[in-house]
């Protein structure tokens, strides 16, 4: 069940994304309070509202796009595992020919849609397995932020990204030290520290590295 507009306004109102050139997104100051209120509202157990946080890798990647707009200009761009869609919005905001936000979570897709509307930015949306979205025939550029959490999924995702790259897609991976990112064939292109939620991450900041297939 999707959270109501009233719940979002109370617990995760739209606010500026740090350092991302006037991008606004639904962001919770207290993710756990939002989670409890959401479960109370729908009278059922809900997944952790990961979509209510701009994760450090997405934050740095959106800032990198802002500093390097030629990366996305005129291209068909995929935000793979989009969460609230901030990276897709940044790409569209910097003249991507097409920007698609893809996530398996239908609530994340709903929030990405709301965030895009809040920025008056048109993006495409796809609620499906992100691995199925990595199609080099559709996207010149595939962007991935903080997705390498689980071992088996990470292997499958990395293979799909390798195949997309081999067939012509540029691939940029933003990672803030998640445990299962393979490093073979990757070249680091940027490194930056980003603030994060201590309650969620157990630290106040993370070092984010951007990688490209060599």
Whole-number pLDDT of residue 211: 97
Asked if residue 49 is part of any domain, the answer here is no
Which residues form the domain of 135?
55-213
Measured distance CA(195)–CA(124) in Å, rounded: 28
Inside any domain, residue 85:
yes
pLDDT at 121: 93
What average pLDDT score do residues 43-53 get?
A: 92
Q: What is the mean pLDDT of residues 104-132?
A: 95
Q: Is the pLDDT of residue 9 over 80?
A: yes
Average pLDDT of the residues in 187-207: 84
Give the separation between CA 179 and CA 148, rounded to whole angstroms.
7
Q: State residue 20's pLDDT score.
A: 76
- Asked whether residue 169 carries a pLDDT value surpassing 80, the answer given is yes
**CATH code assigned at 200:** 3.40.50.150
45 lies in some domain: no
- Number of domains observed in the structure of the chain: 1
pLDDT score of 183: 83
Q: Region 106-113: what's the mean pLDDT? A: 96
pTM attached to this predicted model = 0.94
Strand partners, 172: 143, 212
């Amino acid at each position: 069940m999707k959270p109501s507009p009233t719940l979002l306004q109370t617990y995760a109102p739209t606010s500026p994304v740090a350092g991302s050139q006037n991008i606004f997104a639904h962001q919770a100051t207290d993710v756990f309070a939002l989670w409890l209120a959401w479960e109370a509202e729908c009278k059922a157990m809900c997944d952790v509202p990961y979509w209510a946080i701009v994760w450090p890798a997405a934050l740095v990647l959106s800032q990198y796009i802002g500093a390097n707009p030629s990366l996305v200009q005129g291209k068909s761009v995929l935000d793979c595992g989009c969460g609230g869609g901030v990276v897709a919005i940044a790409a569209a905001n910097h003249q991507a020919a097409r920007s698609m936000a893809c996530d398996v979570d239908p609530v994340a897709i709903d929030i990405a849609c709301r965030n895009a509307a809040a920025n008056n930015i048109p993006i495409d949306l796809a609620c499906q397995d992100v691995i199925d979205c990595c199609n080099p025939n559709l996207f010149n550029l595939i962007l991935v932020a903080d997705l390498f959490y689980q071992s088996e999924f990470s292997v499958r995702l990395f293979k799909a990204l390798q195949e997309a790259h081999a067939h012509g897609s540029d691939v940029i991976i933003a990672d803030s030290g998640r445990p299962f990112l393979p490093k073979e064939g990757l070249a680091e292109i940027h490194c930056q520290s980003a603030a994060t939620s201590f309650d969620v991450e157990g630290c106040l900041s993370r070092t984010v590295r951007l990688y490209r297939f060599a």
